[in-house]
Structure 1
């Protein structure tokens, strides 16, 4: 018993000595360089205040800007409009996509900024699921994925039926899955957390002169690209389509109720 008490007393003395040593070292450091210490504290406090004010004053909805695509000048000798998109890509592009006239399909998730802010983990899982569906349907309908940034896709197709079949199937599949997810959640540590989020998508489909060039980089030229992004910003939760994409006597013409037709 006495041995245990002596051991405990020695441990307390050692702990007290260590704490006093650290306090003395801190006091010496402040005395030697007070400007650095006070400056660090002030800067950290100032940054925290500024970030807090920004969070209170800036609405989450302001973080969602209309989708735009940066336009750059075309190198000399290249025709077909301004350069709209350029990225490095290692795989070979099928020759059918190197022609002048293509059908462009752009997809986007509605109100994704707020979903990311409110449910980051669930949104991350939902995006993975969303991307798998988009890529599977694109492959089934013979399309080419040109761009994928965040929750937006840019695909090109060589014919209108495949482009519209992809758009309708993608729209309906996401809508069907989201309808079934609306009431699903699981509870963990008393908090309600969604596993996958119900989402809405918007799609824009257009046809025009689009030049796809591929050497070391994949380059997309054509004013129709920017016009398609403008159509997408007009859309809410439907498929915006140019009027020249509606061909008579095709089965999907009966599904015009899904479309917002642009001239």
Structure 2
């Protein structure tokens, strides 16, 4: 364990093996840092925050401080961050509140680029990337392998599906389906995240099946729910299409991003 002499580690903080805490960092009394965590310099970690093994935090990040919710009354909420994440300069991650389950949760191998923000009570999966200044309001859910472009803003209670892509400078106020790609001042569905599918190794046959399911869901007669139900039956053996239909048919506080022509 290496702790720089200018760092402040309050009594009660729990530090795993080989933790490195650089110059002018501040670590609160209820913080838990897993093995091999590194706070590079000028990092402030507060509250009931747990950071998983191997995660690195860059200068001037603020992790675990009081959520930006005027209803917050000092309740003992938590922030949990997974393994091998990268939290870059000036990123902010807030704990939960009593109105959202008391927990903000981040999965493994996530990248939070400079100035990105994770609001209270968010649930973020594994391998998620928030580009520079991407921001999540409270209660947002983000699925595995999702990518959020620079300067985008996601409204409270919105769900971003598995491996979805949000274009830079987009304002997202509706749910984004798994594998969907959205962009715009008020984001509209522009199709599937085909680049992401190929990068993840989805074969040609599966991608064609997903595109066919997409067409059933977003064109033809009936409501979105009716079309999604038909697609769930027609593509019952195609797991990625089931992810999309399950996402649409699940309970949600928001409506959905749909294509412009719908």
Indicate whether the TM-score tops 0.5.
no
Q: State TM-score, norm by structure 2.
A: 0.23
Q: State TM-score, norm by structure 1.
A: 0.23
The one of the two structures with greater contact order (alpha-carbon pairs below 8 A, sep at least 6) is 1
